[in-house]
Amino acid sequence: MSSTTDMSTDTGSVLEKTRDDRSADDVVLRLEDLVVEFPAGAGQVVHAVSGINLEVRRGETLGLVGESGCGKSTTGRAIMQLPRPTGGSVHFDGRDLAALSPEEVRKLRPKLQMIFQDPISSLNPRRRIPDIVGDPLVVWGRGADKDKVVPDVLRAVGLDPDQVADRRPHQFSGGQCQRVSIARALVLEPEVLICDEPVSALDVSVQAQILNLLEDMKARYGLTLVFIAHDLGVVRNISDRVAVMYLGRICELGPTEALFDAPVHPYTRLLVSSIPSMEGAQRGEVGTGEMPSPVSPPSGCRFRTRCPLATDRCADEVPQMREVAPGRFTACHHPVLDTAVGEPIAPAVTAVPTTPLTASNGAGSNGAGSNGAASSRTES
């Protein structure tokens, strides 16, 4: 695919015009045209994240869901500036992290914390639990508070500080290690907690404990959560809004229940209907094929190779993010409207009643402004 089509993506300004138009300081984290690429050897490039626009509101839980290789974890790490993204910007509390020096970014880190997938690997096997949890305090010159703060945090995550005092990580189960990780992330009292697959390495019976704990901690510490996971049931339960990613792009964004009950993007429909359900049989169609390699993603809409509704237009034009219903955004030329999961989908959706985006589109395509492709994209 040509680099021109690749560059132009959904527009940030669409998202700014969310329906209930809250005040700007309500948004704690804003991603604009975020691009992350890695060299893949032999001169090739992995397009891990290709232009994402996303806003996270203060106090909400935003779920980021997709299959492995869709770039969701890369997005999480790009927010943390670990490593710094290739392009675009991450605004945290109104400050553009890309424009800051490494030292300035470091100074902001206590407000932006992360927990990881593998609970065992998240903890240094050679250090004791209180040292692990207290280390962020020492780093920020608050080592003196350690004896006071660490036991409090440990108790908050459901661990007995006296009993963990001399223990090392390998003496704990996965669920307990994840509690320690959460305690370490909370000890600096962050504003935003990015959870990268925090329960996928745990047994079902332990998963629920950690999910409940995250909800408790969110309330107690007033956190904003970005919850990255591939398990849709888990994401559905914990998130206020969900963004679905496919091959480095967001294909749908909306309030959790609406998005799961009546997905608009064909990929979301496939994803939701693939969930094995406790209630009974599969809820709908089973797709074919697998996600193409992010080294050479398809042109136009990246889902078109597996999409039952794909047309020629999908190969030529990158679909723009647009609001198809209040609060619901999708990047699709043929969104499926008013159809619950499991019902057959009607293709041939040509005249979609969408919010006209021309004005905001012009402003929003500034990230891709260098190439002319973006301007010809809007439908008249």
Q: Which of residues 237-266 bind another protein (CB under 8 A)?
A: 237-240, 256-257, 260-261
Q: Please select the residue that binds another protein; options are 212, 296, 370, 375, rule is CB under 8 A.
A: 212
**Cβ neighbours of residue 354 closer than 8 Å, sequence gap 6 or more:** 322, 323, 324
Cβ atoms 78, 98 nearer than 8 A: no
In this chain, which of 90, 114, 301, 332 binds another protein, going by CB under 8 A?
A: 114
Tell me the HSE value of 98 on the side-chain side, using a 13 A CA sphere. Answer: 16
- Residue 290 binds another protein, judged by CB under 8 A: yes
Q: Please identify, using beta-carbon distances, which residue of 68 and 370 lies nearer to another protein.
A: 68
CB closer to another protein out of 205 and 358: 205
Is 275 one of the binding residues for another protein (CB under 8 A)? yes
31 or 211: CB nearest another protein: 211
Q: Which of 9, 122, 320, 361 binds another protein (CB under 8 A)?
A: 122
Alpha-carbon Rg for the chain, nearest whole angstrom, is 21
Provide the minimum distance between the beta carbon of 164 and another protein in the complex, in angstroms, as a whole number: 7
Part in contact with another protein (CB under 8 A); list of ranges 14-22, 31-39, 271-279, 327-335 = 271-279
**Contact yes or no for 52/250 (Cβ under 8 A):** yes
Interaction mask 324-363, another protein, x per CB under 8 A: ----------------------------------------
Among 22, 95, 148, 170, binds another protein (CB under 8 A): 170
Q: How far apart are CA 29 and CA 32, in angstroms?
A: 10
Residue list 144-163, contact with another protein (CB under 8 A): 158-160, 163
Among 150, 291, 318, 336, binds another protein (CB under 8 A): 291
- Residue 232 interacting with another protein (CB under 8 A): yes
- Whole-number Cα distances in Å, 304 to 64, 275, 298, 376: 21, 21, 8, 20
- The residue range among 27-35, 93-101, 224-232, 327-335 that interacts with another protein, by the rule CB under 8 A, is 224-232
Task: State the nearest-atom distance from the C-beta of 14 to another protein, in Å.
Answer: 24
Q: Is 334 helix (H, G, I), strand (E, B) or coil?
A: coil
Residue 136 beta carbon to another protein: minimum distance, rounded to whole angstroms:
4
* H helical segments located in 222-261: 232-238, 256-261
Residue 124 Rama label (left phi>0; alpha psi -120 to 50; beta): beta
Binding test (CB under 8 A) with another protein, winner from 22, 94, 95, 282: 282
CB distance 228 to 76 below 8 Å? yes
| Interface segment toward another protein; rule CB under 8 A; list 24-32, 278-286, 323-331, 352-360 | 278-286
Label the pairing between strands 27-39 and 45-57. Answer: antiparallel
Contacts of 204 (CB under 8 A, 6+ apart): none
- Give which of 362, 363, 359, 364 is closest to 376, Cα–Cα: 362
| Shortest Cβ 94–another protein spacing (Å) | 20
Residue 236 touching another protein (CB under 8 A): yes
Distance CA 300, CA 373 (A): 11
Amino acid (1-letter code) at residue 282: Q
Interface pattern 92-111 for another protein (x via CB under 8 A):
--------------xx-xx-
